[in-house]
Chain A
Amino acid sequence: MTTIPAARRRRNTLLGWSFLLPNFIGFALLTMVPVVLLFYYAFTSWDMFGGSEWTGLDNFQQMVRDASFRTALGNTLYYTVFHIPLTLLAALGLALLLNKRLRGVAFFRTVAFFPYITSIVAVAQVWNMLFSPGYGPINAVLRAVGVDNPPGWTTSADWSMPAVIVVGTWREMGYFMLIFLAGLQTVPGELYEAARVDGANAWQRLRAVTLPCLRPTTFFVIVMLTINSFKVFDLILVMTNGGPGQSTLVLAQYIYRKGFEENQFGYASAVSVVLFGICFLVTVVQFLVNRRREA
């Protein structure tokens, strides 16, 4: 680097920026500036009508006392705690299955990914109808197999979150399956051969070869799933709109309500900072762990 003459460096800087600018102007104005502003608004009493007034930590103190905020945070954790392991297991299971030489594997790989790219509005509506307590197909099947009192799903405060979790898992498992499949291609075939020579059965090969080799992929999937779980919003907005009551109210939706329905932009920004902080923390941990692994 030190050998590059100054004139050439100046030329390169101009050239480089000329390539970046068309994208960078949009990116800076619409992503970077809002992210910086977020941390200013969070300490103000900004609403749509008046100006913003610096209020220090008021918003955060209000948050500590805010029962709805605690409910939203709790529900988000509830979703996260179930969504992560369920999706992880389903995605890994499918990937292991599809990594075999079976007929129809290519077809299924296409099929499994499809829910992920279909629109949330249509998908949520179909599932709402499937989950319909009185006449929906799911409860019809449950009654047929002997469940006398099938759950009320999205109409019941106890069962609405499980219903949302089922749909969230159904929607995302195909995407993470693809990532696991890509990870499985990096497992050296010789390791399986060696394990087989040593007389390891399928279960032992999975435990001793596949899973350890997949560790980086698994870690990446968990990080992505955590971020996806904490930002869950549109699925819930369309399926339950946070209800019944506040039984499925999540963080992102609480931000939306406070900001766009109640015009409390300052307070909503403070809640956004919490969401931002959680996702940022998860990413930093991933970055550090990856660096330690490479070192």
Chain B
Amino acid sequence: MSTLLNPAPVLLPPAAPRPARRGARAGRILGYLALIVASAAVLLPFYWMVVSSLKTNNEVFTLPVTWLPSSAEWHNYVDIWTRSDMTTWLGNTVLLSVVVTLLQVLTGSFAAYGFAKIRFPGRDVLFLAYVGTLAVPWQSYMIPQFVLLSKWHLSDTLWSIIAIQAFGALGVFLMKQFYESVPDELVDAARIDGMSEYGIYRRIMLPLSTPALASLALLTLVNTWNDFLGPLLYLRSNDLWTIQLGLRTFISQYSAEYALIMTGSVLSVLPIAVIFLVGQRYFVEGIATTGLKG
């Protein structure tokens, strides 16, 4: 685990050995204090979520606040499956996340190769259009997009979510950044050896870009898993709901079932937490190279 949690190389602090000074010690202590306070502020809501999911309903809101449940109510984690449609929601979410991620990674990296390594008229203008839409919030064109997808009878199908998520500009942008760092001489040498452009993409570029592909895949996966607005707009039938939409409905239906609501919340966050811990450095690198997230 420790190797997986290593920070990305780009973010290593500059190694400047400092002469020991009187103020340094006080500074370090202050630094640690600040770190502890900040960690607590970030983590306490998650801690409270997990602890509440193991409490009885009455115990969630007691005064004074109890930071440990008197007895862990593990059965909450069994009950939630019968009290809600969790299985359907998770199934839909996994399906959507996998399909969207595959499409985004494949079409994104394929198009990025065209943008990065083949010169043709109009290429740069087209790329500007791609980048331009990264700054346009989806909220501002969700209405015409909805009208179009309804006309094509894709509304209230899982296809609608695949359609709106899989062809975003993020993938093209991230992969193009990476491909441009690959020297042109390498590509030219392969061309002289008679390799086709598709061969270069598949046999040289793809293997070289595994870290960038991993960053893109993880960012897309998490985005799709967490998307709430897309499913809210498009998925009306409850057998199509995703975990976010299902959880939201569960919260409004059982608004007083505090413990179970927290159990559902933990379950909706848990897969993301695992993916994040395993692929932490790919997230960090993805963010650092693009400075953008969908």
Question: Interface of A with B (CB < 8 Å)?
Answer: 1, 4, 9, 12-13, 15-20, 22-27, 29-35, 37-38, 41, 46, 93-94, 97-115, 117-123, 125-127, 129-130, 132, 134-137, 140-141, 144, 170, 174-175, 178-179, 181-182, 185, 189, 192-193, 202, 220, 224, 227, 230-231, 233-234, 237-238, 252, 255-256, 259-260, 265, 268-269, 272-273, 275-276, 279-280, 282-283
Contacts and interface: CB of A to CB of B under 8 A. Distances in A.
Given A108-B39, A129-B60, 11 more contacts: A19-B111, A27-B172, A104-B32, A105-B13, A114-B42, A120-B226, A137-B48, A140-B63, A174-B42, A179-B291, A182-B11
B33 to A, nearest CB: 10
B287 A179 contact: yes
Q: Which 8 A-B pairs have the closest CB atoms?
A: A19-B114, A26-B167, A231-B137, A135-B61, A122-B265, A23-B107, A37-B144, A23-B111
B228 A102 contact: no
Contact of B244 (A109, A119, A129, A280): A119
A38 B10 contact: no
Contact of B136 (A35, A105, A123): A35
Interface string B216-227: 000000100110
B140 interface: yes
A127 B44 CA distance: 10
13 contacts: A30-B164, A97-B34, A110-B276, A114-B276, A117-B276, A119-B269, A121-B228, A122-B49, A129-B60, A178-B284, A185-B12, A275-B137, A276-B136
A12 B120 contact: yes
Interface stretch (B68-76, B79-87, B126-134, B181-189): B126-134
A113 B283 contact: yes
Q: Which of B7, B141, B280 has the most CB of A within 10 A?
A: B141
Contacts of B172: 23, 27
Which of the four size classes fits the interface of chain B?
35 or more
Contact of B197 (A4, A15, A20, A104): A15
A283 B135 contact: yes
Contacts of A255: 139-140, 142-143
Contacts, number: 300
Contacts of A17: 114, 120
Given A31-B169, A185-B11, A178 B276 contact: no
B25 interface: no
A84 to B, nearest CB: 16
B238 to A, nearest CB: 16
B287 A175 contact: yes
B63 A135 contact: yes
A125 B251 contact: yes
A123 B248 CA distance: 11
B106 to A, nearest CB: 8
B228 A13 contact: no
Contacts of A260: 146, 233
B178 interface: no
B38 interface: yes
Contacts of A185: 10-12, 14
